[in-house]
Amino acid sequence: MIASIKLPKRVRIVEVGPRDGLQNEPVALSWQDRTQFIDLLSAAGFSAIEAGAFVKPSLVPQMADTGDVLKAIQRNLGVRYPVLVPNAKGLQLAVESGAQEIAVFAAASESFSQKNINMTIEQSLANYAEVVAQAKGAGLWVRAYVSTAFDCPYEGAVPVKAVSSVANQLGKIGADEIAIGDTIGTATPARVSKLTDSLLRVIPPERLAYHFHDTRGMAAANVLTAMLHGIWIFDSSAAGLGGCPFAPGAAGNLASEDLLYMLSEMGIETGVDIEKLTEASRFVLEKLHRPAASRTLQAILSK
């Protein structure tokens, strides 16, 4: 590659389709279908698969019965299956269902934090400090999201310092991995570069992940930029699930197929098998009655 530039030899892909993807789809799948989807993704070789969320089914019907999903999936050794928990009650339900990994969800923008989880950033960090302490006490592994890390739909540009500060605090309360989210898909390489420089001053790369959306077609370029900075953990979603279903082809999460295509063509190992991933994506797209939002998957399926 480019002279004097080092790229990672191996990248860990965190497959977020069964949670972040499905949660943003209009059709709610049964826990049985979600279980099968996760098992197909495990078979494809992902080493981390976001499995669901313990949130109110009245508010988020797509994530109902996550406990049943957790009990039914065929756990592969060495694979993490984090579930989103908003509070101590969610943690309790997760533990009762056999969860070994959880995820918590903070924001870098004050307005987004208040509108999305009804807490100030400070309140949310205090809440998560307790949840994470309990989780770590129970031997669980903890992932923490920082949403609106580039732009907030209410406030616009979010300062790099605000993002680093929230990420740093999540690290200090014990989160094992911190995923930096480009919630509305406005990140570009220059901003990724600047933010990563700042984040790496407070969090080592083995605890840092990026969660890009492909809303403006920038996700692959952003991943490349982050890799040039030494980042090697990235979130993506099978078939690009999670896009706005009302705009045909509009993108949500970076599609796992697109990410995998770039990495495998660059000789970067992921452990993921594209054919088995395609099988998982075909399965879920059929259940959702929607076309793929992954350009690579569209190219594969149109053959």
| Binding region for a second copy (CB under 8 A) | 1-2, 4-5, 185, 188-191, 193, 214-221, 223-225, 228-229, 244, 247-251, 255, 258, 261-262, 265-267, 291, 293-296, 298-299, 302
Question: At closest approach, how far in Å is the CB of 292 from a second copy?
Answer: 9
**What does the angle CA 108 – CA 111 – CA 112 come to, to the nearest 5 degrees?**
60
Buried/exposed 89-108: b ≥16 CB within 10 Å, e otherwise: ebbebbbebebbbbbbbbbb
Residue 276 CB coordination number (10 Å): 16
Residue whose CB is less far from a second copy, 52 or 240: 240
Q: Output the smallest distance, CB 249 to a second copy, in A.
A: 2
Q: Quote the least distance from Cβ 284 to a second copy, whole Å.
A: 17
Nearer to a second copy, 47 or 188 (CB): 188
Q: How far is the CB of 266 from a second copy (least distance, A)?
A: 4
Catalytic residue among 43, 224, 244, 268: 244
Please indicate whether residue 152 is annotated as part of the active site.
no
> CA–CA distance from 33 to each of 11, 69, 72, 102 (Å)?
28, 9, 11, 21
Could you tell me where the beta strands, DSSP code E, fall in the chain? 12-15, 48-49, 52-53, 83-84, 101-107, 141-147, 151-152, 156-157, 177-181, 208-211, 233-236
Which CB atom, from 36 or from 225, has the smaller least distance to a second copy? 225
Cβ proximity to a second copy, 136 vs 229, nearer residue:
229
> Is the dihedral angle over the CA atoms 37, 39, 45, 48 positive or is it negative?
positive
> Catalytic site residues?
244
